[in-house]
A and B are shown apart, each in its own frame.
Chain A
Amino acid sequence: MLLIDCPYCGPRAELEFSYGGEAHIVRPKDPEALSDAEWGDYLFMRKNTKGVFLERWCHSHGCRRWFNVARDTVTYEILAVYEMGSEPPALPERNLV
């Protein structure tokens, strides 16, 4: 079980949180102007990085606020927790094959 450090409530067990998938996906400003391929890419295509992955979590059984997490998807080590809307902090390169 993950121990996630909510930026607002402190460290809590994984079961208090829900997952929001890949972070930093920006909703296109003018969807009507996109091709089907571009819209499909926005809706469905995901990175699934093996290594350091930036993702969103919500403290749904706590403060109910969203935030971003940088986590290694192989070791599950949480490397950084940062607020929505902010840029990810500098992180070690450790993408693995």
Chain B
Amino acid sequence: MVRYSFLSLLRNALSYHENWPQAWRSPEPKPSYEVVIVGGGGHGLATAYYLAKEHGITDVAVIERGWIGGGNTGRNTTIVRSNYLWDESAALYEHALKLWEGLSQELNYNVMFSQRGVMNLAHNQHDLRETARRVNANRLNGIDSEMLTASQVKAFCPVIDLRAGGRYPVLGASLQRRGGTARHDAVAWGYARGADARGVDIIQNCPVTGFIIENGRVQGVETAKGPIRARKVGIVAAGHSSVLAEMAGFRLPLQILPLQALVSEPVKPIIDCVVMSGAVHAYVSQSDKGELVIGAGVDHYVGYGQRGSLMVTEETLAAICELFPLFRRMRMLRQWGGIVDTCPDASPILSKTPVEGLYINCGWGTGGFKATPGSGHVFAHTIAQDRPHALNAAFSIDRYQTGYLIDEHGAAAVAH
């Protein structure tokens, strides 16, 4: 792996940037590996990276049906924060946020992590009470979080209209200053490059069509490029988790729902923080290219179409126009959808499965991007040690039998 630095940039400038080596190889799959990861999104690639780096397991393949980072990793609104309510989630998301803070240096790849501050708005008395409760819970867990009054909201984000046309008055907000955004493609590419350098094979355009299971133990996967044997298999497939679980013969408590986002034409810097509102199903930030990045709520039916319903777009933009009247005349450039795997308690599943040697990381629903480094880190531990890391022990699939649910619908901040 060529280390990226000012000197390497200078050296390659002399040859007109025509001699940069590929960031990762595209090998043909070997007949067998120690670990196969199904799914080459951010979480899957991070898992492979930490398996190699933290656990010395380098005989790993990441198998991706399309191209890496082409699913939800490249379709989210890039928001990173850790202000979750319950102790278990706070610890997991904060673990991820701490990894984010050193990620560009760790990967020698600029993931453009920008801690510009994330505001979650409160529009009525109930919102205010819930927000205060979550801020207090965050602070007890050592997570930076503060309560803003309406005038402090206006000072932090001057373009917001506190009256919001009378429909969505802003009474206050929570603010996590360490939250922000990151460039989502770079996260997939950075982890892919780091994993590849440590010997991980990244195999793209290779759908998994089944699992090889003998005597209740996984022995590998069937793929479009033939069978690949493996001692252990991790499923990190987001919207296709239920399809894969069915192939392996167990069930998941998910609903697969389309979630959409859109970007505007690029404009000069106008909003330098992230504004979210769970109550009106809208969140907005501005990318480094100048586009407003706007996220919506989910479509409420099962769908694999990777597109969102126009009625949801309309509802979201109506709320954005009330909160930011100066955006009313902006034109939208692109709209797209991802298919998200939502759990009944809006918390993820990082768990062993009924099949020996088969592990699953799913259920991140509308908010998985922010957890990418932490998710990969603890899931690699779960696979390598065959037992959960302390941080994901509570996120087992068994909680849907024991009733130990971790309800994060409030902190998830996206309507579903």
Contact = CB atoms under 8 A, between A and B. Distances in A.
Interface of A: 1-2, 13-15, 18-19, 21-22, 36-37, 39-41, 43-50, 53, 55, 71, 73-76, 97
Contact of A48 (B254, B305, B344, B402): B254
B304 interface: yes
Contacts of A76: 303, 305
A40 B251 CA distance: 11
Contacts of A45: 251-253, 400
Q: Which of A14, A19, A37, A45 has the most CB of B within 10 A?
A: A45
Nearest to A44: B253
27 contacts: A1-B311, A13-B311, A14-B311, A18-B300, A19-B300, A19-B301, A21-B255, A21-B302, A22-B302, A39-B401, A41-B251, A44-B400, A45-B251, A46-B242, A46-B255, A47-B242, A48-B242, A48-B243, A49-B302, A50-B243, A53-B302, A71-B301, A73-B304, A73-B305, A74-B304, A74-B305, A97-B207
Contacts of A37: 401
Interface string B399-413: 011100000000000
Given A73-B304, A74-B304, 18 more contacts: A2-B301, A2-B309, A15-B311, A19-B300, A19-B301, A21-B302, A40-B401, A43-B400, A44-B253, A44-B344, A46-B242, A46-B254, A50-B240, A50-B304, A73-B256, A73-B303, A75-B305, A97-B243
B108 interface: no
B408 to A, nearest CB: 16
Nearest to B343: A44
B201 to A, nearest CB: 22
Interface string B311-326: 1000000000000000
Interface residues of B, number: 25
A48 B207 contact: no
Given A2-B309, A97-B207, A55 B402 contact: no
Main secondary structure of the interface of A (DSSP, over half): mixed
Interface in B230-266: 240, 242-243, 246, 251-256
B209 interface: yes
Among B243, B254, B305, B311, residue most surrounded by chain A Cβ atoms (within 10 Å): B243
A21 B109 CA distance: 42
Contacts of B310: 1
Contacts of A75: 305
A48 B301 CA distance: 10
B267 to A, nearest CB: 29
Top-9 shortest CB links A-B:
A44-B253, A48-B242, A45-B251, A40-B401, A19-B300, A36-B401, A48-B256, A44-B400, A40-B400
A14 B240 CA distance: 25
B82 to A, nearest CB: 26
Interface in B275-311: 300-305, 309-311
B261 to A, nearest CB: 18
Contact of A55 (B256, B301, B344, B401): B301
Contacts of A18: 300
Contacts of B254: 46, 48
A37 B260 CA distance: 34
